[in-house]
A and B are shown apart, each in its own frame.
Chain A
Amino acid sequence: MRKILILFAHPKFEQSDVNQALINSISHLDHVHIRDLYDLYPDFDINVQAEQEILFEYEVVIWHHPIYWYSCPPLLKQWMDLVLEFGWAYGPGGVFLRNKYVMNVVTSGGSKEVYAAEGRNRYTMEEFLRPFEATAYLCHMRYMPPFHVGGTHRITKEELEGKAKVYQELILSLRDSPSIDFPYIQKP
């Protein structure tokens, strides 16, 4: 069984039905630890040492966040800026994240069709998430394709239940399957 760390960043979680449904579907699972960053660090004053110690224990890391202006909410960026230190996460001696699996789980108002070369946003979600991929790459992590819930403004209750179920199954398979079969990118 792998231990999974969900780094969840949402500045208005209490008003996000979609993210509540997603989080609720996995919050009770063993070996799955959800860190609600906006609840832990309301003043952005991240405890770097504590975060690094926690990362040490987990084999799979999930960056779970909504897409704001084609990126993550600022606290998750702050987390990356502060926690992924030179000499710890990358650079000489920066070996502590090596071989950990990592994935973006994102929600967006725009639908899947909008995030496409022919769509209104002109790029795919994978392309928008390149900075995350590059970060993981530099840290020798195994970056897996994102899990995307799109069209959240118009999602029906049934669709949402379905998405939450898929998310749960995804987390369960990351936790329980003998080997992780998702494709991933890793610095050779």
Chain B
Amino acid sequence: MEGFFSQAIIYILAAIICVSIAKKLGMSSVLGYLFAGILIGPYVLKFISNETEGQDIMHGTEFGVVMMLFLIGLELEPKNLWRMRDLILKVGLAQVLLTSLAFFLIGLGLGVSWNISLTAALSISLSSTAIVLQSLKEKNQMDSVEGKMSFGVLLLQDIAVIPILAILPLLAVNAPEMLERNEHGGFFDEYPGWIQTFAIFASIGLVILMGKYGFGPLLKLVVKTHLRELFVATALLIVVGIAYLMILVGLSPALGAFLAGVVLANSPYKHALESDLDPFKGILLGLFFIAVGSTINFSLIFSEPIKIFGLTLGVMLVKALVLLGIGKYRKLSMPENLNFAFGLAQASEFSFVTYSFAFQLMILDRSGADTLMAVTALSMGLSPVLMLILDKTIIQKEGMKENKKSGDSDVVNEKNQVILLGFGNFGSTVGRFLRANGIEATIMDSDPDQVDFLRQMGFKVYFGDGTRLDLLHAAGADHAKILISAIDSTEHSIKIVKLCREHFPHLEVMIRARNRFDAYELMDVGVENIYREHLDTSIRMGEDALRKLGFRAHTVHRLGKQFRDYDEEALKVLVQFKNNRKEYISKVRKQIEMQESLLSGELSRKFSLNDHAWDSEQMKDSDSRK
């Protein structure tokens, strides 16, 4: 246990220091983590004693990538994925095939045997999902043209993992006995091919079915317990479960998680899942990058610096060239293309798996595997540095010229201008009115039954409690203009107001208040737009009563309006005296006192229309005086 704590402290401390320095210098966090890994790795501070330990951590934390893809899936609705099929199939496939072919030929040209060349070529063709997506997200480029293309390529690469792992054993020409395939050793390995294939399709089907019909009710059940940790645990269970299932049938867990994410993208729990899993993903990915940093074999690099660096730069250059060609073909602008090509130029963390698998299969010898792994780790370490240099030099300069292009304006931003919290009787009326006039709001409600019902009615309602900052972020509070709180708890509303003031000062908040007393509390925290729920209805009722007593409708209408204005004004005056009252007076007592002061004020005011509108009495008077 002590060992664990000291380890944890070292990792976290290294991450905090390096990442915050990296961020201060305007670099991506990936670079900070990598550097932290190098620092605590076997060649500097020696907290991690050897590369194998680093690789173990890496395998452990690869789960961060799975989570990341689950979260990305959540943001990608099925119809959008379908729209990307062209990108995934054409761009992705072209990249994998062309890159593999190039490296295969280079390998043969350098006199390496064909099976080693092919193993290396296939592995090198893949890029690091973790590094690329993290960088794209940090730079807010997921929705840009090159961001979408990068994502398409990465998705196909994740699919390509399956055939690559299947091909490797066939390359083992001199493997004496088949070793146990514990690397991706699936449960169905001993079974014939058709059962394996069937298992794969069955499990994908299961994931989709569960996503559509299983997870929703499960989450709803959990939500009703009102225990947040249980919801987090369920979210984790879903992701872990899918990953396990995928490993069982020999598929990429990241791919399975991505699929589940896509299926859940329309779910009401989307935002809640996002905000609950995000920290786990962040920490795991951070550790993952640290582990990558610690696996860079500096003794090997220092013993043959020219060879290793030459190979690494060669790998990245060739990969980038192939990608540049594809980008050119897809008519990317120069800065977009550079971003796309060099962003994907590193080798993948998955190569560690293929190389050690190939080593077990005796395709590679120890030194070959070590060299390739060193190249992989180095390329992953170098790629953020390279991107940084590119960003600061060419892309920025080129970007100046095509400034209008860099703002991803052609991407339709689906973020709504209005966030509506609480979709009960009050909120739903507001929401319906807005919708009837073409304004869609992002709606959140914390009652799972209500959410369910409204979803059936065709409203896009998300499960969530507006008092959590992460959920507000997920609901798009950064971009929205107005936040409407139609929830009936003023305590909650006040929390929301404070959160918004601190984190989203641009947001205009409009708050529902149950009564005068709540309105005072809201005024105390400085809310300007307060809507007492009974005010308009009760005045309207009074108006109708006056009409039934013979008042004319137009007069009554004006009287009602005037009374409402007066009441709102009176509220502003009375709130100043509110705090002078002694503490022991109960809320109820206060309410009565308020009513009293109001009523006496109205008696002296005499509510008649005291303007002279359409009034001819004066004129008659003055005429008669003549």
Binding-face segment, A21-29, A80-88, A129-137: A80-88
- Are B622 and A92 interface neighbours, CB within 8 A? yes
Given A91-B619, A91-B622: A48 and B614 interface contact (C-beta under 8 Å): no
> Separation in Å of the A79 CB from the closest CB of chain B?
11
- Are B619 and A86 interface neighbours, CB within 8 A? yes
Can you name the residue of chain A whose Cβ is closest to the Cβ of B557? Answer: A43
Given A86-B618, A91-B619: A43 and B561 interface contact (C-beta under 8 Å): yes
- Are A81 and B618 interface neighbours, CB within 8 A? no
B612 close to A (CB within 8 Å) = yes
Q: Which of A43, A82, A91, A92 contacts B613 (CB 8 A)?
A: A82
Can you name the residue of chain A whose Cβ is closest to the Cβ of B611? Answer: A48
- Are B558 and A45 interface neighbours, CB within 8 A? yes
> Separation in Å of the A109 CB from the closest CB of chain B?
27
- Are B613 and A48 interface neighbours, CB within 8 A? yes
- Are A86 and B558 interface neighbours, CB within 8 A? no
Chain B contacts for A85, CB-based, 8 A = 612
Chain A contacts for B618, CB-based, 8 A = 86-87, 91
Q: Which of A43, A81, A87, A91 contacts B614 (CB 8 A)?
A: A81
Can you name the residue of chain B whose Cβ is closest to the Cβ of A46? Answer: B613
Chain A contacts for B611, CB-based, 8 A = 48, 82
Q: Which residues of B, 587-621, contact A by the 8 Å Cβ criterion?
A: 611-615, 618-619
Chain A contacts for B561, CB-based, 8 A = 43, 45
Chain A contacts for B612, CB-based, 8 A = 85-86
Q: B549-574 vs A: 1/0 string, CB under 8 Å?
A: 00000000110011000000000000
Q: Which residues of B, 303-345, contact A by the 8 Å Cβ criterion?
A: none
Give A5 to B613 CA distance when docked, in angstroms: 23
- Are B619 and A81 interface neighbours, CB within 8 A? no
Q: Which residues of A, 91-150, contact B by the 8 Å Cβ criterion?
A: 91-92
Give A45 to B563 CA distance when docked, in angstroms: 12
> Separation in Å of the A38 CB from the closest CB of chain B?
16
Give A82 to B389 CA distance when docked, in angstroms: 71
Give A52 to B558 CA distance when docked, in angstroms: 19
> Separation in Å of the B569 CB from the closest CB of chain A?
13
Give A70 to B615 CA distance when docked, in angstroms: 26
Chain A contacts for B558, CB-based, 8 A = 45
Can you name the residue of chain A whose Cβ is closest to the Cβ of B623? Answer: A91
Give A87 to B561 CA distance when docked, in angstroms: 26
Give A91 to B188 CA distance when docked, in angstroms: 102
Give A92 to B618 CA distance when docked, in angstroms: 11
Chain A contacts for B615, CB-based, 8 A = 86
Give A127 to B614 CA distance when docked, in angstroms: 26
Can you name the residue of chain B whose Cβ is closest to the Cβ of A45? Answer: B561
- Are B622 and A81 interface neighbours, CB within 8 A? no
Give A36 to B562 CA distance when docked, in angstroms: 21
> Separation in Å of the B396 CB from the closest CB of chain A?
37
Can you name the residue of chain A whose Cβ is closest to the Cβ of B618? Answer: A86
Give A45 to B613 CA distance when docked, in angstroms: 11
Give A48 to B611 CA distance when docked, in angstroms: 8
Can you name the residue of chain B whose Cβ is closest to the Cβ of A88? Answer: B612
> Separation in Å of the A7 CB from the closest CB of chain B?
18
Chain A contacts for B614, CB-based, 8 A = 81-82
Q: A38-68 vs B: 1/0 string, CB under 8 Å?
A: 0000010100100000000000000000000
Give A121 to B455 CA distance when docked, in angstroms: 57
Chain A contacts for B562, CB-based, 8 A = 45
> Separation in Å of the B316 CB from the closest CB of chain A?
55
Q: A172-188 vs B: 1/0 string, CB under 8 Å?
A: 00000000000000000
Chain B contacts for A87, CB-based, 8 A = 618
Give A92 to B557 CA distance when docked, in angstroms: 31
Give A87 to B557 CA distance when docked, in angstroms: 26
> Separation in Å of the B401 CB from the closest CB of chain A?
33
Can you name the residue of chain A whose Cβ is closest to the Cβ of B612? Answer: A85
Chain A contacts for B622, CB-based, 8 A = 86, 91-92
> Separation in Å of the B565 CB from the closest CB of chain A?
9
Give A85 to B619 CA distance when docked, in angstroms: 10
Chain B contacts for A45, CB-based, 8 A = 558, 561-562
> Separation in Å of the B351 CB from the closest CB of chain A?
60
Give A91 to B615 CA distance when docked, in angstroms: 14
Give A91 to B626 CA distance when docked, in angstroms: 12
Can you name the residue of chain A whose Cβ is closest to the Cβ of B626? Answer: A92
Chain B contacts for A81, CB-based, 8 A = 613-614
Can you name the residue of chain A whose Cβ is closest to the Cβ of B619? Answer: A86
Which 4 residue pairs spanning A and B have beta carbons closest together?
Answer: A82-B613, A45-B561, A86-B619, A48-B611
> A48-B613, A82-B614 known; 6 other A-B pairs, CB under 8 Å?
A43-B561, A81-B614, A86-B612, A86-B618, A87-B618, A91-B622
Return 13 A-B CB contacts under 8 Å, by A number. Answer: A45-B558, A45-B561, A45-B562, A81-B613, A81-B614, A82-B611, A85-B612, A86-B612, A86-B615, A86-B622, A87-B618, A91-B622, A92-B622
